[in-house]
Amino acid sequence: MKQYKVGLVGIGAVGTEMIKVLRQRKFPASEIRVLATRERDEEIAGETFHVLETTPEAFDGLDIALFAGTEGSKGASKQFGWEAVKRGAVVIDNGDDYRMDERVPLVIPEINAEALDRHQGFISNPNCSTIITLMGIAPLHKQVPLRHMTAVTFQSVSGTGRAAVEELEQQARAYATGAEMAVNTYPHQIAFNVLPQIGGLKKEMPGFTSEEAKLTFEARKILGCPDLRIASTCVRVPVFYAHSIAIHAEFSAPISAEQAREILSNAEGVKVIDDVSTAQYPMPLFIGGGDDVGVGRIRIDPSVENGLALWCCGDNIRKGAAQNAVQIAEAMIRRGLI
């Protein structure tokens, strides 16, 4: 099997997970070249790497460059992404800077791998909540086209980064001991609370936040439905890992709960967990750390014609970021694009 030289830009939560995923999936990498803001030795996922400073020359000789910036972070891919392409690497970017760029495919391999065939050297990873939502809804849409979708997300603090994980833990400990809670990462306490705002207001969608706009615009691009009606409310919840999404969808023709379960049971990367009588449904407690997106609470939504409701849950750092990026690279290899 051909071996590939892989670059990794950024060693935060997503970058660390990318190395884990590369190793776990036995990705054919002859080299993993780790790049960051400064040169140093660093232990990452149990291995010691000599980290290089990110410079244009650092991308020379690479076949693939994974940009692992956390959601909303700016800088690395904007500064070095297209430069890496010029130097011969295929860039797979976890950030949001180029997702809606017409030159850049936005890909979930189980859903729209064919979009990779039109790549110009740069591919974007969708937002974590978009990936988890579409893993549950796209297999149904392929059978019976969607007319409308409403989604409410319940997003874990790891989507914000390591500081948010540490802050939730500190606040929970402080609550248990009666100590003062530090509130730095979010505008309000997150422990034992929910925050119905992720991101700032988005002028393209008055009243909606940037996270809600991402779900709308990215889902339309991935599904190839530029006029699909989508509305969402994105909520930060006091959970460490895994995002959950409640979806209410209207289809162009009737689809029963039984049909939906059968379609989703045969969908790659999806695990149906759906038996309310025995309290079986996907939850962050059990989905976190896993590769599949769990789908449950599948039922008819009687409030609309041809309506269906379902609940999705997936690990936002793995399938919602690191794993999806590695899967994009694997799909490109299978399609002879690298």
Question: pLDDT tens for residues 177-195?
Answer: 999 999 999 999 999 999 9
Is pLDDT of 75 > 70? Answer: no
192 and 304 belong to one structural domain: yes
Q: What is the pLDDT of residue 72?
A: 40
Q: What is the pLDDT of residue 279?
A: 98
Cα–Cα distance list, 154 to 224, 233, 258, 264 (Å): 26, 9, 26, 21
Sheet-wide strand order for 122-124: 40-44, 47-53, 29-36, 4-9, 64-67, 90-93, 122-124
Q: What is the pLDDT of residue 76?
A: 86
Query: Catalytic residue among 119, 141, 234, 243, which?
Result: 243
CA 122 to CA 102: how far, in whole Å?
Answer: 11
Contact residues for 327 (Cβ-Cβ < 8 A; gap 6+): 109, 110
Type of residue numbered 337? L
Q: What is the pLDDT of residue 1?
A: 82
SS3 1: coil
Parallel, antiparallel, or unpaired for β 293-301 and 307-314?
antiparallel
Is pLDDT of 54 > 50? Answer: yes
Contact residues for 277 (Cβ-Cβ < 8 A; gap 6+): none
> φ and ψ at 302, to 5 degrees?
-80, 0
162 and 112 belong to one structural domain: no
Domain at 157, CATH number? 3.30.360.10
Q: What is the pLDDT of residue 219?
A: 98
Mean pLDDT, residues 184-213: 96
CA 290 to CA 99: how far, in whole Å?
Answer: 25
74 and 138 belong to one structural domain: no
Could you confirm whether 312 is annotated as catalytic?
Answer: no
Answer yes or no: are the C-beta atoms of 295 and 311 closer than 8 Å: yes
Our measurement of the distance from residue 160's CA atom to the centroid of its chain's CA atoms, rounded to an integer in Å, reads: 12
Q: What is the pLDDT of residue 73?
A: 46
Could you confirm whether 148 is annotated as catalytic?
Answer: no
Type of residue numbered 7? G
- Report pLDDT digits (tens) over 11-39: 888 999 999 999 999 999 999 999 999 99
Domain at 90, CATH number? 3.40.50.720
Domain span including residue 153: 130-315
**pLDDT classification of 71: cutoffs 50, 70, 90:** very low
**pLDDT classification of 116: cutoffs 50, 70, 90:** very high
328 and 291 belong to one structural domain: no
326 and 311 belong to one structural domain: no
71 and 147 belong to one structural domain: no
43 and 65 belong to one structural domain: yes
Mean pLDDT, residues 267-275: 98
31 and 47 belong to one structural domain: yes
Answer yes or no: are the C-beta atoms of 128 and 134 closer than 8 Å: no
How many structural domains comprise the chain? Answer: 2
Q: What is the pLDDT of residue 69?
A: 73
Query: Catalytic residue among 128, 234, 312, 313, which?
Result: 128
| 3-state SS record for 129-167 | HHHHHHHHHHHHHHHCCEEEEEEEEEECHHHCCHHHHHH
Answer yes or no: are the C-beta atoms of 88 and 64 closer than 8 Å: no
193 and 58 belong to one structural domain: no
Mean pLDDT, residues 127-134: 98
Q: Which long-range contacts (CB under 8 A, 24 or more apart) does 193-199 make?
A: 193/238, 194/154, 194/235, 194/236, 194/237, 194/238, 195/235, 195/236, 196/233, 196/234, 196/235, 197/234, 197/236, 198/153, 198/155, 198/159, 198/234, 198/235, 198/236, 199/72, 199/234
121 and 134 belong to one structural domain: no
Predicted TM-score of the model (pTM): 0.96
93 and 159 belong to one structural domain: no
Our measurement of the distance from residue 250's CA atom to the centroid of its chain's CA atoms, rounded to an integer in Å, reads: 24
- Report pLDDT digits (tens) over 292-316: 999 999 999 999 999 999 999 999 9
83 and 142 belong to one structural domain: no
